[in-house]
Structure 1
Amino acid sequence: MAGFYTSDELSRVILRRQQRKTLDATVINSDIAGRYYQKRAITSIFSQFDQARRKALLVMATCTGKTRTAVALVDALQRTGRVKRALFLADRVSLVNQAANAFKSHLPDASPVNLVTEKHTEGRVYVCTYPTMMGLIDDMDGDKARFGPGHFDLIIIDEAHRSVYQKYGAIFRYFDSLLVGLTATPREQVDKNTYDLFELEPGVPTDAYELTQAVKDGFLVPPRVQQVDLKFPSQGIDYEQLSDEEKAEWESLDWGDDAEEEGIPSKVNAPAINSWLFNSDTIDKMLQHLMENGYYVDGGDRLAKTIIFARNHDHAKTIEERFNHHYPQCAGQFARIIDNKAKYPQSLIDDFSQPEKVPHIAISVDMLDTGIDVPEVSNLVFFKPVYSKIKFWQMVGRGTRLCPGLFGPGGEEDEKKNFRVFDFCFNFDFFKENPEGIEASGGVPLGKRLFRSRVQLLSHLQAMPDLDSGKQLTPKLADALQAEVSTMNPDNFIVRMYLASVETFRERDSWNQLDNEARQTLINDVAGLPTEQEPEQIESCLFDLTALRMQLAHIEGDTATFEPLRRRVVEMASLLEEKASVPLVKAQLGYLQALADTGFWEGININMLEEMRLRLRELTPFLDKKRRPIVYTDFEDEVLGVRNEEVFELPKMTGVQYARKVEAYLQEHLDNIVIRRLRTNQPLTQTDLESLETMLTTIGEEDGEELLQNLISALYEAPFSSVHAGGPDALFAGRDNVKGSSRRWRRLSRGL
């Protein structure tokens, strides 16, 4: 633990043990979370907690009500005396605002507090971003921390995954609370580290409700996908294939520093399109296809809410300009860029979320990929490649929400039954060939890598003293590491959790001879802790890491690592020679020229590499960054083909539609003898049961057997299992149980 409970917090824990009530499905408020899978998820968490397991992970498809499930969970745990204060964490302000609104709407008596905007307000439910909470943990209220380790009884993590844990895991280690993770990532895609965090077997979350099942049940709508193959995004632009007029335009363009050295390019490859080369006709053809094939509302007069996923801000800006060019009457209103460069992005998101307010087209750069809940979204445009399977399906999920009455005031025929996805960047093709996608690895911060590398180098030098021929590098390295640890503030909550190790290595003597245990403590616990050292220029620090890697590779005989790094240093030295007008560079000119000589590297040793580091680290900031200009063109692009894609097999009838038909049939056939016996709790014969099964299967048409089986299976799961763990078979084993139990079943099933 990171600290001690206060006396009030200890009293609360003792009192809770004495007064807490039973957890079962009957305490779930169906007005907050009434769907069967939401209740099942909450009762699964109850089961975890009743078994003294303090962590749980829910996998729930995007737009199936994760936030409402979280609200209902907090409500149930507070009403049963299990939780007094709860904390809900998300990674973006917009998601925190959504959660705050949900808690304020459904649990106003819990006095929900948005810590992003109300940092000094008290309540029983708090919502916050991870970075804000990292800062607030160190806040003091007089002589004690405002948020001590025992302040919260429950923490809920929105979109729990590896990157959140790597960046903000200190929060979860600091607070001593129940922990619930929510994620839309399919269970097989959740990484092992996340399952480890929640102490679960890989692939086995506490509960899961995924996209395919949600579509089958009718709680989400499926995508209708078109892959639109444009020539330039798939093949690039070849100078030789351009018209004479276009060739003249090509030759007049500013191609940047590379062109000055290598001449005008003869081809621009596909990845450059919409990245730094923006072609008007490519964008125009995308907009034309969207406007001709997208869903419309208001009787067909207005394009339905649409998200265009753009590659970067310049790309988004060009899309907005091309739209305004073609629709000047809508300029500045109908289509707007929503990214972190927008002046008021949250206001734009709020406006986009309102059915009748502009904008109706959101041109998004990473801000609407996840977590935004707008039921009216009916068109998605993928105008950028996506390589992460997790992110891709979260983006697709932006359109899956139900939206009754979207296309008119009528009944079921005016409901949103699906949404359009227009893929201009071959994403669906990519995931067919690479089903798991390509996930970005969590990067280790530069400071942490430097500290670890220095510890490794010091260990090598202490184990083999002859490597340090001058006997100066070893003590200097130890001094530098000890100085860094000395600037770690013990009042910082992250440092406090490793205070024993930090205090040990504040002492200079502890660095004189590192054993294996000390080395592992430094690498695993101390490396990366916050320090109060003055920051240095990033270029110098990066060169330090290059030199350290070379020193380690030299000691370990790793030529495969050493040689590419050596070539990089020689190239840097050559580029620095061109900066001879800079006094610092001029002073090292002879040394820079020597680095290019192969003789310099013969007999290289650790001390020579250290001298190289010290001479060059202050010069690297003078290296020029290559200029890559934004290129705007207007060459004629071509639609090579349009293909309809089936994302997954869809049912002919959803579970919700089937339940409606069953209910309507029962109401319309009250005079049927079998139905009459059911309603009056009369025993059914085997013939009656067979007749009823045939009847209900017929209602489900082609999928009747599966739909009926799903309906029956639900009676054996939470929340019904709280009535009897053995399900209906065990519950109705005795005839005398039927009447009273039937009332309980009806009460529980109202929300299903």
Structure 2
Amino acid sequence: MSNFAFLPNQFQDFKQAAQKAESHIHGDPRAACFHARFALEAAVHWLYRYDNTLRMPYDHSLNSLLHEPDFQNLIPQQLFHKAKAIQRIGNQAVHNPAPVRQLDALQMIKELHHIAYWLTRNYTRPLPPAIDWDDALVPRPLSPDAVVPRKQLEALEKQLATESEKALKQQQTADALNQELQTLRQQLADLHQQAAQQTDTHDYSEADTRAYLIDVEIRRAGWSLNQKRDREYEVTGMPNNQGIGYADYVLWGDDGKPLAVIEAKRTTADPAKGQQQAKLYADCLEQMHGQRPIIYYTNGYDTWLWDDTQYPPRQVSGFYNKAALSSLILRRSNRQPLDTKLVNAEIAGRYYQKRAIGSICKQFAQSRRKALLVMATGTGKTRTAIALVDALQRTNWIKRVLFLADRVSLVKQTANAFKKHLPDSSPVNLVTEKDTEGRVYVCTYPTMMGLINETQGKSGEARFGVGYFDLIIIDEAHRSVYQKNRKALKRGRVLH
């Protein structure tokens, strides 16, 4: 038996992959998450083939297919977030050495089950009844000998990707001449429209998905959440009759002081209410421990960070690790005022270069986080950027910098310029020195995209996690290559 037995034969590839994922929940959760991602890909490919509102883009990667505007218009938002969770956990299972919990595998297969129901409801007849997940139908545990090593899964991933791409191209060529397929697409479109006119009574467990995603994102940043004080922490001084409250999550420093407070429950209903509730918790924690924490509020899908001593709230792609949060707290007291007198004239001594740096510093001092520098060719943009980095590092405003360029030749040129004019910043050319550590990293967009999910150590924490870079410089931001990669980099957790 299987929780996916209800899937009709028209979803055969998806059904087989989903049942394989389900069979690995007990005994090999890493393989279960891997096959769940592969099953999701099969479902998405089916939609792109048979739904007449979708057109296969040039980029066939799962990430690209999920983020196509037409695809996001097709599926409910709650299904999109389930798909993103399956993709993310599936990728981590293959590329992250950290252990995969059985809880993760079970949750991902349950999310896949919701997607399976939605597919069946919208593209088959008669309409199926609401089908609930049943733990009793999950296959018995695998024997230890059946567990697939992670490296073997990596090899299998490459093999399946190659086979899938080849099959997809052959299928597209054949489909272009298949008149029967065009007729079937119209029939399926009619079924989808009919389904939309009837109330969907299935419980998609959105609240469970949100709570799970919050937990996953916190753990991804290296927080184990294994102490009682990490969740539902009691705070005193709340403006209510009891004078107490319970913060959803508190992230602690090594000195026992709170680094961050995370509000989730109220944010799910209304981000504005979550923001206010988180602020009240921060007020209480500051009174109790003598340190004001960084404020987060999240609904599981979107997360906001608010250091209300410095900046207004901003949306981020995840949570900071302990080192990044500690740096934010420390920077409140040890950063110095910005002054154009600090500009090193040996790096950028022309009057307009100093003026440009002064203007940017003024923006930053006014709690603005972005600045655009426009300079003509040959006026020393790179040296101006280097002098800016130097001034910000010496005044403790920043520590690590990411400099993005669109060509390898520009990366090499910029890295050499940093090494010449600011050698103490330990410049790294990530195109050729991927494993080197430093304080200034110069890179192309594609290389950075390839390094985003890179992990380190047995904990599996991301090497370039959210908050790793304090300053990001985009070279020639007006070029289309930046606009093309901007959303991808945000999704990939670099821009924050």
Q: TM-score, normalised by structure 2?
A: 0.35
Q: Point out the structure with max Rg over C-alpha.
A: 1
Q: TM-score, normalised by structure 1?
A: 0.23
